Structure 1
Amino acid sequence: MKFIFIGLIFIVILYSIILAKNQLLEDNKTKPFTSVSALMLMAIIISIFLSTTIALNAEISASSGHGGFIYIIYPSLYGIIILMGYLVSLGLIPKWKYALGISCVLLNIVIGLIYALIEI
């Protein structure tokens, strides 16, 4: 059941990325906040949820003492930092909004995978 949820979130992220790619041709590349950047922001926010969901699928030992709290907080915290970094870089280099958005989504997913695979 948990893999169905992860798959649905992944499909929503891919849909917003594909929709942003289609609108990229009509986009004004000098403006920082357009429909492409809004779709990429949506994809980044959803990837934060995906990262946390992936991290919660880790094998959490009962003797760890933190009860899975780290697996919720750290991927979300890193995701918010990545989101703020995207917003700052969007203001500085608006021509790269699509590439920056995809890299932020991938970075969020990688963080979730790292927390799912390591034992803390």
Structure 2
Amino acid sequence: MSTELNTELSIALRTAALPVLWLALLASPARADVHRHVDPASGMEVLSNVAPQTPPVAAAPAGVARAAPAVTGFPVLARERQRELDAGRRAILEDELLNEKRRCSKRAHCAPPLRCCTATA
């Protein structure tokens, strides 16, 4: 009779311990190492769970502009000349936008999902 009691007690303990064990496992905090570094090719900040092969480069503080990567063989214009070109491009784009708005306003049959009719004047 004592072996039956031991067997019943053992089964009862196992059945009671199983939910407690599951609760302990589920309640334990998950932890993962997160590595932050700046990709030298793109200059973007990268978060990863894998440690970088090279030593990490400190990210630029907020509000501080990063220097643009040097591009070789790209023509550099004087500041005033670049502003003239930008103003010309802006005028062309504004003219195209105005023409599209005029064209869309004349198209009464245009359904609302179409892009030309969703632009606001």
TM-score by length of 1: 0.27
Higher strand share: 2
Which structure has more relative contact order (CA 8 Å, sep 6+)? It is: 1
Larger Rg: 2
Higher helix share: 1
